[in-house]
Amino acid sequence: MLDYPSRNGSHCNSRVPDPGVASLTSIWSPAATCAEAWNAAVCQAGDEVAKSWVKFVGERLAKDSTFPQQFAACRNPSDICDLYAKFWQQMAGDYAAEFSSIASTGWKAARAFLDAAGNGNSASKTN
């Protein structure tokens, strides 16, 4: 055993030098850089999506809550058809815009991660 005193009776306390773990961790550096970039990008995107979604739901609830009053104000079937058409068109447009915003945020996070992975930098340094 190289790290124990020799068997010939010598009481030498010297150990055989080892390479240490620093050389082993350097092989993980690219993976660690990518993981850091992914983590930063995903956390930031998740935060943006959550804020955007809460704001969107609040705005949609405000719009939806006016519908019964508008419905009660209708005087004939034509008014009801117009109201429903306007309501569904506006709702579809609002949801499409919100989902587009969420997708854009996701793509922005993916681009930040891929840029950082390609450059060897962390996403927190690129933003």
DSSP of 47-75:
HHHHHHHHHHHHHHHHHHHTHHHHHHT--
The sign of the CA dihedral 98, 74, 84, 64 is positive
Is 112 inside any structural domain?
A: yes
Given a contact cutoff of 8 angstroms between Cβ atoms, the answer to whether 121 and 52 are in contact is no
Residue 83 lies in a domain: yes
Region 29-49 average pLDDT: 82
How many domains are contained in the chain?
Answer: 1
Residue at 2 is within a domain: no
pLDDT in tens, 47-106: 999 999 999 999 999 999 999 999 999 999 999 999 999 999 999 999 999 999 999 999
- Report CA-CA distances (Å) from 67 to 72, 83, 101: 9, 8, 25
Does some domain include residue 75? Answer: yes
pTM over 0.85: no
Is residue 44 in some structural domain? Answer: yes
Of 25, 94, 15, residue with least CA distance to 57:
94
Domain carrying residue 109: 29-121
Share of residues in the chain with pLDDT > 70 (%): 70
Question: How many C-beta atoms lie closer than 10 Å to residue 41's C-beta?
Answer: 26
Interior CA angle at 8 toward 5 and 9, to 5°? Answer: 65
What average pLDDT does the chain have? Answer: 80
Q: Is residue 69 part of a domain?
A: yes
- Whether residue 113 lies inside any domain: the answer is yes
Residue 126 lies in a domain: no
